[in-house]
Structure 1
Amino acid sequence: MAAVNSSKLCCSESRLNVMFRWNRMIFKLYFMFTFLLLFVSLCFSDDDHEMEEFLKREFSLSKPYQGVGSLGSSHWELMGDAMVTTDQVRLTPDMQSRQGAVWSRIPCQLKDWEMQVHFKVHGQGKKNLNGDGLAIWYTKERMQKGPVFGNMDNFTGLGVFVDTYPNEEKHIERIFPYVITMVGNGTISYDHERDGRPTELGGCNAMVRNLKHDTFLFIRYVRRRLTVMIDIDGQHEWRDCLDIPGVRLPLGYYFGASAITGDLSDNHDIISLKLYQLTVLRSKKEEEEEEQDAITIPSVDNMELLRLYQSEEGMSGLAIFFTVLFSMLGCIFLIVIGIVVYSQWNERRRKRFY
């Protein structure tokens, strides 16, 4: 009887041990899964999960464009050949030698913002017989006529250009229309002859002319990171165009849009400009660092590295061909040398056994 009780006791103890080990293993797996989930969420989280956006009507322009251009009755002011219709603000008509603009009257004091631009470029000119393009601005200056898509040269701030005509003869690797982004500090000139290449931050192809569907441009500035995207395919999907960290833009600048025509022309229309304030979560340390490092002049960190990357990226097709060719020849040469060295070493190794 004692033996039976002893066996039952041992059996129950073994069951308890198994259950204890099983529960401990489940707890460990649960803990590891929770930790892994938290780690992945932290790694893959971006600003979209930390932001709330609010439409700022005082910096937005949309139908029915009530009072636009009228003194004191609107937040927006027209300049040059720009005019308001029921469907759009037309910056330039499809006529030669015109320029026009629309500018916000209120300086923007937002740290983080997002601008969504609904625009249209269309005209009678055939391919490569149209021009010149439009620009979206966030600059210190406003209401200044000039040669840079209808605005002044040597501007201070941000310009995003939809360039529809290639001035540079050698533009084999670039298809126009093309979206270009530039940050100016008041002393940097836009190079028309080279389509702004020496001072651009980057850009992308954007076939926006004479499309039947809507075309959009997206500009976001968050934590000194500038992102530009486009939606021009009628699919209601944003396509990446530019993403650059370390862009420093001061507060208190003005939003605007401008366009220009020369010997060639197009209708350049703004259908809406919608500015959203982005509320971004920041730690106290980040806030203190931003307060200590107040921005007074627009600039871009590591601009020299960016230009070096662009020069490498912008090599001609012939240069790329020879680079690939010599790289392949170099690899073949190294492989041949390796085979010869290995065969000699293997031969000497075999001779040691005779």
Structure 2
Amino acid sequence: MAAASSSREHYKESKSPFILIFREKIMPCKSYLIFAFLICTVSRCFAEDDHELEEFLKREYSLSKPYQGVGSLGSSHWELMGDAMVTTDQVRLTPDMQSRQGAIWSRIPCNLKDWEMQVHFKIHGQGKKNLNGDGLAIWYSKERMQKGPVFGNMDNFTGLGVFVDTYPNEEKHLEAQRKRYTSRTPRIFPFVLAMVGNGSISYDHERDGRSTELGGCNAMVRNLKHDTFLFIRYVRHRLTVMIDIDGQHEWRDCLDIPGVRLPQGYYFGASAITGDLSDNHDIISLKLYQLTVFRSQKEEEEEEDEITIPSVDNMDLLRLGENEEGMSGISIFFTVLFSILGCIFLIVIGLVVYSHWTESRRKRFY
């Protein structure tokens, strides 16, 4: 009787309006909640995978209009050097005149672990293609306010330099070194490249920094009517450089190198230089953003050791690629020759094996 009574009560409950409403209304809502939770979880995973959670503009490391007090003693975070001058529209590092060099440097060392620099710049002048020079550089360097041959800064610098090189010095020596080049090595100038120096590495001016570059891309930035931008990001020991020079408000990849180790406490700056050829090199704004980045406990433990000297983990691989680019014409000839002979040998072996297989297959049917 008790079992029958229990069965009848269960039957009544299953038919009650409350239960029907619960099944029809509450259960679908629960499904929606689960679906929303899954979406949030996936979105969070993507955000963490991108390693970027938030970014903050750091005004003390940024430069923008109206450039109040720039160059004045003690009244600005930025200091001018050489032929650099401030106008209402830009900080002109060099005028379109021969043998000039100028720079602007931050007075405050940067102690951010992860950061992003957006550079609004302009290069223009009267010179025609390959009759202009020499280019500008963006720096994150231990040294500051030092004149020199590397785009207006000292050689054997310590830190990071991103160069917008507008004159191909390497072409002067092309005839003497022609046997070292292949069809894939010539660059199209202007050219953007990055270099990490440890205080003892010299910038190879004659080869436009080819032997020490981390990577680069061509960037036709001269005499454009629209704005041109350079994007430099350093996050989780990864250096990324992108450009926006087509007037489409879209970033284009230039280089992306992991294993770049830069100490904290260096200075940001921009410099430019002209020689026998010249250009106006203008900085319109430098905007630095602090990046808040997710790190696992293991990553935090691995980064406890302080970085004291700039370095690149995979520099040997980069130099290996450089050596491959420097193959002589004779090396290329023998490489192609042996490749062709190897292919012919493999084809002959394949035909012999196939003929034996065909013969043995035919014999099975007799």
Fold match (TM-score > 0.5): yes
Cα 1:251–1:330 change in 2 (3 A) is same
Displacement after TM superposition at 1:41 (Å):
6.3
Displacement after TM superposition at 1:43 (Å):
7.8
Q: Per-residue displacement from partner, 1:9-31 (whole Å, max 9, x unpaired)?
A: xxxxxxxxxxxxxxxxxxxxx9x
1:143 is aligned with what amino acid? Answer: M
In 2, Cα distance between equivalents of 1:175 and 1:219: 21
The two structures have a TM-score, normalised by structure 1, of: 0.83
2:357 is aligned with what amino acid? Answer: W
Displacement after TM superposition at 1:339 (Å):
1.6
Residues 248-259 of structure 1: matches in 2 within 5 Å?
Answer: 248-259=261-272
Q: Secondary structure at the match of 2:320?
A: helix
1:331 corresponds to which residue? 343
Cα 1:101–1:39 change in 2 (3 A) is same
Cα 1:47–1:229 change in 2 (3 A) is farther
1:124 corresponds to which residue? 126
The two structures have a TM-score, normalised by structure 2, of: 0.81
In 2, Cα distance between equivalents of 1:326 and 1:39: 55
Q: Secondary structure at the match of 1:193?
A: helix
Q: Secondary structure at the match of 2:130?
A: coil
1:198 is aligned with what amino acid? Answer: S
Q: Is the 8 A contact 1:79 1:100 kept in 2?
A: yes
Is 1:265 the counterpart of 2:278? The answer is: yes
Q: Is the 8 A contact 1:173 1:317 kept in 2?
A: no
Displacement after TM superposition at 1:231 (Å):
0.4
Is 1:309 the counterpart of 2:321? The answer is: yes
In 2, Cα distance between equivalents of 1:352 and 1:240: 60
Q: Is the 8 A contact 2:48 2:294 kept in 1?
A: no
Match of 2:287 among 271, 274, 278: 274
Q: Per-residue displacement from partner, 1:166-213 (whole Å, max 9, x unpaired)?
A: 111248621010001000000000000111011110111111011111
Cα 1:317–1:114 change in 2 (3 A) is farther
Match of 1:141 among 132, 140, 143: 143
Is 1:287 the counterpart of 2:303? The answer is: no
1:94 corresponds to which residue? 96
Paired residues in the alignment total 326
Q: Secondary structure at the match of 1:168?
A: helix
Q: Is the 8 A contact 2:114 2:234 kept in 1?
A: yes
Displacement after TM superposition at 1:42 (Å):
8.2
1:153 corresponds to which residue? 155
In 2, Cα distance between equivalents of 1:240 and 1:317: 31
Q: Is the 8 A contact 2:51 2:294 kept in 1?
A: no
Q: Secondary structure at the match of 1:334?
A: helix
1:212 corresponds to which residue? 225
Percentage identity across paired residues of the two chains: 88
1:60 is aligned with what amino acid? Answer: S
Q: Secondary structure at the match of 1:340?
A: helix
In 1, Cα distance between equivalents of 2:80 and 2:208: 26
Greater displacement, 128-137 / 302-311: 302-311
2:76 corresponds to which residue? 74
Q: Is the 8 A contact 1:47 1:280 kept in 2?
A: no
Q: Per-residue displacement from partner, 1:141-164 (whole Å, max 9, x unpaired)?
A: 000000000000000000000000
Q: Is the 8 A contact 1:173 1:316 kept in 2?
A: no
In 1, Cα distance between equivalents of 2:73 and 2:364: 99
1:341 corresponds to which residue? 353
Q: Per-residue displacement from partner, 1:202-234 (whole Å, max 9, x unpaired)?
A: 111111011111000000000111100000011
2:95 is aligned with what amino acid? Answer: P
Greater displacement, 304-313 / 259-268: 304-313
RMSD: 3.0
Q: Any stretches of 5+ residues in structure 2 without a counterpart?
A: 1-31, 175-180
Displacement after TM superposition at 1:346 (Å):
1.9
Q: Any stretches of 5+ residues in structure 1 without a counterpart?
A: 1-29
In 1, Cα distance between equivalents of 2:329 and 2:71: 48
1:104 is aligned with what amino acid? Answer: S
Q: Secondary structure at the match of 2:169?
A: coil
1:253 is aligned with what amino acid? Answer: Y
Match of 1:184 among 181, 189, 197: 197
Q: Secondary structure at the match of 2:263?
A: coil
1:105 is aligned with what amino acid? Answer: R
1:210 is aligned with what amino acid? Answer: N
